[in-house]
Structure 1
Amino acid sequence: MEFIEQVKHYFNIHLFNIADHPLSLGQLILIPIVVIVGVVLTRKTVRITSERLIKKGVQPDLVHLVKRILYVVAILMLAITTLEFLDVPITAFAFLSGAIAIGVGFGAQNIINNFISGWILMWERPIKIGDFLEVDNVKGRVEAINTRSTRIRRVDGVHLLVPNSKLLENTVTNWTLIDQRARTSVRVGVAYGSDCNLVRDLIAQAVNEQDGVLNEPEPVVVFDDFGDNSLAFEVYFWINASIEGQLRNIRSNIRFRINELFNENNVVISFPQRDVHLDGSLTLIQPNEK
């Protein structure tokens, strides 16, 4: 009993005051314990919640939003609980928090702007995790939407951090906002004198043989122009492509197939050429003539 009384005595030793409220040694020791237990419980709760949402097939960006909300709520609850243990009313920090808010507002406008923009991105979802974006002529896939910035993995594998406010205030091309369908085209020129109907049919055959090309909308072959050196044809078609590399691969496969079909049917792919006409009044002099 004496030991317990001594422990209570030491725990009740007054150290200092916070907003006219005394702080004892026991309360000071209790603070890190409460914080550690709160952090552990928060992480475990967030992890279990995220795993259950993922198993139910919830989209990654919604899971990310739920995690952020849980963390914010947990931090607020932990702060309030800590103050309750210290017997310090929240109103004691009203003036101090107001002064801090004003100082932060003037000194960290960009940070606050990006923070609010990050929550808007996660809430309204104009950009989601996994989307393929084009920002300032840079293309890549969204990997994470964080509080201050969004992490994008470029097509060359390099990671790019874009401020959240930039994604809301500037023009951003989202290739996969609604679906993954994208239209592209392949252009080819054939020599003058070629059978245009045959060329059209061969190009259509090359496109329709590709597995990635959609049947609806149907591919369209257009006789585009009478060029300087060729008859220009262009075929337009739709594919399901989540990244630009898939577009390039399908276009490449179509060009390979067009070249094979043209060779089999004696269709010549044009190249720049010039016809030179000599005036009959000119006389050609042989090198050995004087």
Structure 2
Amino acid sequence: MIESPVLERLSQALETVVFSYGGSDFTVAKLIQIPLLILFVWLLVRYVGKLIHKRIVSKRIGPDAALLFKRIYLVLCIIIITFTTLEVLNIPLTAFAFVSGAVAIGVGFGAQNIINNFISGWILIWERPIRIGDFLEVADAKGVVETINTRSTRIRRNDGVHLLVPNSQLLENTVINWTLMDTMARTFVRVGVAYGSDVEQVEKLLSEVLRNNSAILQDPAPTVIFADFGDSALIFEAVFWVNAEAESNVRKVKSDIRFAICKMFAQHNVVIAFPQRDIHLNGELLLKRD
């Protein structure tokens, strides 16, 4: 079989030695094969990682544990691929001593925040003070944690907007986690009734409203508090506990309670107070004539 001149020149070009190290010749063909092989192995590792992740999730293991296993799996695979490649190429680790020193200096000066967020992300996954699915209150933002990435945590606000919060901020600043230990949250609905109302009847009506709402937990039991004597009303607070994975759940329950209170008060002729002002005039009104 006679090879064409084009294939012969291509073969010679691929066999051209680019450089030699440690007694090994690195040809153009080898320099092309190495990254392609590494890319193929990396795609295979990621595919296997996704299969394992789905398998773990299907076993009803928490998403945080699945994410932690996936991170550890990828890191171990990267280390194995790196050392295996160096071993195949016969490149000793001492060859990277100078490069690693320069990289360490560059990281120390220019990538402090990145390293800080990276380590913070591992701490969040390992210690689990914040988990996937938790409802957080960070500064003025409230939302549910969707995922904890290497550099930042993605939070979905109640209005659907996504926030990317650096991991270090979640560890260094005060964060309110509504669902850290459980999904129970205490809240209240405040209502004012007119002066002269039967306060014992108001207490009984509010207690009945709380008992009739299935979303309200009966342990701890809901309570009605006579909170204050207001300027224009007698102030009552209906205090209760609910299971809430997001603020929208609490707002929905409070809305239902207010609807029920309005209906209950209307049936029993209890007046919900509104601001009133009495004006008293002392003396005579003098009309000035031109």
TM-score, normalised with respect to structure 2: 0.90
Superposed displacement of residue 12, structure 1: 6.2
1:194 aligns with 2:169: no
CA contact (8 A) 1:21 1:88 kept: no
Kept after mapping to 2: 8 A contact 1:114/1:148: yes
Q: For residues 260 and 286 of structure 2, what CA distance do their matches in structure 1 show?
A: 47
Task: Give the alignment of 1:34-183 within 5 angstroms.
Answer: 34-183=37-186
- Distance in 2 of aligned mates of 1:9 and 1:260: 91
Measure how far apart 1:111 and its partner are: 0.7
| Amino acid in the other structure paired with 1:115 | F
Shift of 1:9: 8.8
Match of 1:270 in 2: 273
Amino acid at match of 2:140: N
8 Å Cα contact 1:115/1:147 also seen in 2: yes
Contact 2:224–2:239, Cα closer than 8 Å, also in 1: yes
- Is the Cα contact below 8 Å between 2:22 and 2:90 reproduced in 1? no
Assess, with a 3 A threshold, how the Cα gap between structure 1 residues 277 and 103 changes in structure 2: closer, same or farther: closer
Unaligned runs of 5+ in 2: none
Question: Residue 127 of structure 1: SS of its match in structure 2?
Answer: coil
Match in the other structure for 2:245:
242
CA distance in 1, matches of 2:183, 2:250: 11
| 3-state DSSP of counterpart to 2:181 | coil
Give the C-alpha shift of residue 165 in structure 1: 0.4
User: Per-residue deviation at 1:163?
Assistant: 0.5
Shift of 1:44: 2.2
What's the counterpart of residue 214 of structure 1? 217
> Unaligned 5+ residue runs, structure 1?
286-290
- What is the TM-score of this pair, normalised by structure 1? 0.90
3-state SS of the aligned residue for 2:217?
Answer: coil
Q: CA deviation at 1:275?
A: 2.4
Kept in 1, the 8 Å contact 2:215–2:242? The answer is yes
CA distance in 1, matches of 2:248, 2:160: 12
Which segment drifts farther, 238-247 or 268-277?
268-277
* CA spacing shift, 1:278–1:96, aligned 2, 3 Å: closer
Give the CA RMSD over aligned residues: 2.4
Provide the aligned length of Structure 1 versus Structure 2.
282
Counterpart Cα distance in 2 of 1:206 and 1:153: 33
Q: For the Cα contact (< 8 Å) 2:64–2:131, is it kept in 1?
A: yes
Query: Which of 227, 232, 242 is matched with 1:229 structurally?
Result: 232
Which residue is equivalent to 1:29?
A: 32
1:8 Cα deviation (Å)?
Answer: 10
- Asked if the contact 1:19/1:92 (under 8 Å) is kept, the reply is no
Distance in 2 (CA, whole Å) between partners of 1:173 and 1:60 is: 21
Identity of counterpart residues, as a percentage? 54
**What whole-Å deviation, never above 9, does each CA across 1:217-274 have from its counterpart, x for those lacking one?**
0011011111111111111100000111111111111111111111111111111112
> What letter is aligned with 2:116?
N
Residue 74 of structure 1: CA displacement?
1.2
The residue identity in structure 2 corresponding to 1:90 is L
2:118 and 2:181 mapped to 1: Cα distance?
26
